[in-house]
Amino acid sequence: MRQYFGTDGVRGRVGEFPMTPDFAMKLGWAAGKVLGAEGIKEVLIGKDTRASGYMLESALEAGFSAAGVNVALVGPLPTPGVAYLTSTFRADAGVVISASHNPFDDNGIKIFGQGGYKLTDVQEQEIENKLHIALEGGMECVSSEALGKARRVEDAAGRYIEYCKAVLPSTLSLSGLKIVVDSANGAGYRVAPAVYRELGAEVVSIHDQPSGVNINANCGATSMRSLCTAVLEHEADLGIALDGDADRLMMVDHTGAVVDGDELLFLLAKDAKAAGYTGGIVGTQMSNLGLEQALTAIDVPFVRAKVGDRYVMEQLKSTGWRLGGEGSGHLLTLDHASTGDAVIASLRVLTSLLNQGTTLYMAKQGMNKLPQVLVNVRFKAGKNEDPLDSETVQQAVTEAEDKLATNGRVLLRKSGTEPLIRVMVEASDAQLAKWCAQHIADALPSL
């Protein structure tokens, strides 16, 4: 069992273990040792706009250097941008310092392998094994002549911008579109508005003034109200919201309604099928049942992976399919990117709209989302008993499923980043979904 790596790298509150300079240095050393044994010589390090990124960047740099691995620093850049540059610079690995959609006082460390793909569970376990040695005082520095060197990459953002722009076919232009872009005061605050603007759109950019402490603060893909308001105020054609590290995409249509990851995935699937795509779609356990029903209606196969875009990626690799994602906005379009990329996914959506000569509002028709209720129950981490094994809980789940029959579903899962049990219920009737979710939550032992 991995102790530190969750569904999206190592994450925690800054200043508290494991998000300390000492831990970050030892993690860098452990990753350098494990990946170095696989032949890596250089790692690319990027970050979002959190103030703590400077501290963790320096610590990671020291750890990799001590392991004999060179470091290339790209500064603030979206997570998918780091993945892309890891591949194009032919770096052997990439690291992103970001807690994605979390508040500024959290931070995290994600590691990519060769080609910009996230590490496997096996690789992460090997790094943890080496990390335990370092934490117990067994970290050994290579000789002075073998120390890794550090360099700063010039114009990393510009290279990524050009890569994104190439996703829109040369026969198309965003000219005539007014787009509101919410960058969440995060890693995409420069590159995202620049991409749409350079492709011809009139861009209204909001939440693009990072202070180091305002990332994701009432903005971005996890807080859509201000973008919905701005789209209406500016009479825009649509709105685009990123999260703190710009790997999640949410959109807003011209009516001010939010279009989430499930709806965008349906839109992309429908467009891909019309263009001859014969594969299927990978969602997750949390994907709305309405997505599955809509894909079935257009004869597109659908499977569910565990929650987390890394598991969606694993399922895509095993099936050979090219499209997948999560309702939260992680969208994988493997013909264009090796990881979830909000900017590239949005350009795929815009390409579809332009080709069809339609609006986002019209394009999402055909999928009816079922009401979905999510209740989080906090439990005491470290208990020997698994709350999900409780007979009381299992009975409550059975009672809820009996009421739902074939018109809904129940999902219980533990969070990969917090001591939370997430109770999710979908039903054709919103009140029934709410009752079932609360009935199960009340049966769970909580703090």
3-class SS letters over the chain = CCCCCEECEEEEECCCCCCCHHHHHHHHHHHHHHHHHCCCCEEEEEECCCCHHHHHHHHHHHHHHHCCCEEEEEEECCHHHHHHHHHHCCCCEEEEECCCCCCCCEEEEEEECHHHCECCHHHHHHHHHHHHHHHHHHCCCCCHHHCCCEEECCCHHHHHHHHHHCCCCCCCCCCCCEEEEECCCCCCCCHHHHHHHHCCCEEEEECCCCCCCCCCCCCHHHCCHHHHHHHHHCCCCEEEEECCCCCEEEEECCCCCEECHHHHHHHHHHHHHHCCCCCCEEEECCCCHHHHHHHHHCCCCEEEECCCHHHHHHHHHHHCCCEEECCCCEEEECCCCCCCCHHHHHHHHHHHHHHHCCCHHHHCCCCCCCCEEEEEEECCCCCCCCHHHCHHHHHHHHHHHHHHCCCEEEEEEECCCCCEEEEEEEECCHHHHHHHHHHHHHHCCCC
Domain boundary among 154, 178, 208: 154
Of 382, 320, 310, the closest CA to residue 122 belongs to 310
Do 149 and 169 fall into the same domain? no
346 is catalytic: no
Higher pLDDT, 419 or 45: 45
Set 52, 65, 100, 328: catalytic member: 100
The answer to whether residue 59 sits within a structural domain is yes
Q: What would the mean pLDDT of 161-169 be, rounded to a whole number?
A: 97
The answer to whether residue 4 sits within a structural domain is no
Per residue in 106-131, pLDDT (tens digit) is 999 999 887 777 788 899 999 999 99
Residue-range definition of the domain harbouring residue 19: 10-154
Q: In the structure, what pLDDT confidence band is assigned to residue 302 with cuts at 50, 70 and 90? A: very high
The answer to whether residue 1 sits within a structural domain is no
Q: How far apart are CA 446 and CA 441, in angstroms?
A: 9
Do 336 and 231 fall into the same domain? yes
Do 148 and 164 fall into the same domain? no
* Residue 342 backbone dihedrals phi, psi, to 5 degrees: -65, -45
Q: What would the mean pLDDT of 149-159 be, rounded to a whole number?
A: 94
Q: What pLDDT shows up at residue 383?
A: 54
Question: Bridge partners of 331?
Answer: 325
The answer to whether residue 2 sits within a structural domain is no
The answer to whether residue 200 sits within a structural domain is yes
Of 325, 207, 318, 213, the closest CA to residue 263 belongs to 325
Do 203 and 319 fall into the same domain? yes
Q: Has 243 been labeled as part of a binding site?
A: yes
Q: What pLDDT shows up at residue 390?
A: 84
pLDDT above 80 (res 446): no
The answer to whether residue 120 sits within a structural domain is yes
Q: Has 271 been labeled as part of a binding site?
A: no
Q: What would the mean pLDDT of 50-72 be, rounded to a whole number?
A: 97
Do 239 and 379 fall into the same domain? no
Do 149 and 165 fall into the same domain? no
Do 193 and 260 fall into the same domain? yes
Tally of domains in the chain: 3
Q: What pLDDT shows up at residue 232?
A: 98
Give the pTM.
Answer: 0.90
* Mean pLDDT rounded to a whole number for the chain: 93
Q: In the structure, what pLDDT confidence band is assigned to residue 384 with cuts at 50, 70 and 90? A: low
pLDDT above 70 (res 416): no
Tokens at 418, concatenated: 């917090």
Q: In the structure, what pLDDT confidence band is assigned to residue 434 with cuts at 50, 70 and 90? A: very high
Q: What pLDDT shows up at residue 60?
A: 98
Do 121 and 169 fall into the same domain? no
The answer to whether residue 76 sits within a structural domain is yes
Q: What would the mean pLDDT of 335-341 be, rounded to a whole number?
A: 89
Do 304 and 206 fall into the same domain? yes
280: CATH: 3.40.120.10
Do 307 and 203 fall into the same domain? yes
Q: What pLDDT shows up at residue 406?
A: 83
417: CATH: 3.30.310.50
Cα atoms found within 13 Å of the Cα of residue 15, Cβ hemisphere only:
4
Q: What would the mean pLDDT of 278-306 be, rounded to a whole number?
A: 95
Sign of CA dihedral 78, 84, 90, 94: positive
Per residue in 260-286, pLDDT (tens digit) is 999 999 999 999 999 999 999 999 999
Q: Has 402 been labeled as part of a binding site?
A: no
Q: Has 245 been labeled as part of a binding site?
A: yes
Q: What pLDDT shows up at residue 417?
A: 63
Domain boundary among 363, 396, 422: 363
The answer to whether residue 283 sits within a structural domain is yes
Domain boundary among 86, 119, 154: 154
Share of the chain above pLDDT 70, in %: 98
Pairing of strands 238-242, 249-252: antiparallel
Asked if residue 400 lies in contact with residue 440, where contact means CB atoms within 8 angstroms, the answer is yes
Do 150 and 168 fall into the same domain? no
Do 194 and 331 fall into the same domain? yes
pLDDT above 70 (res 21): yes
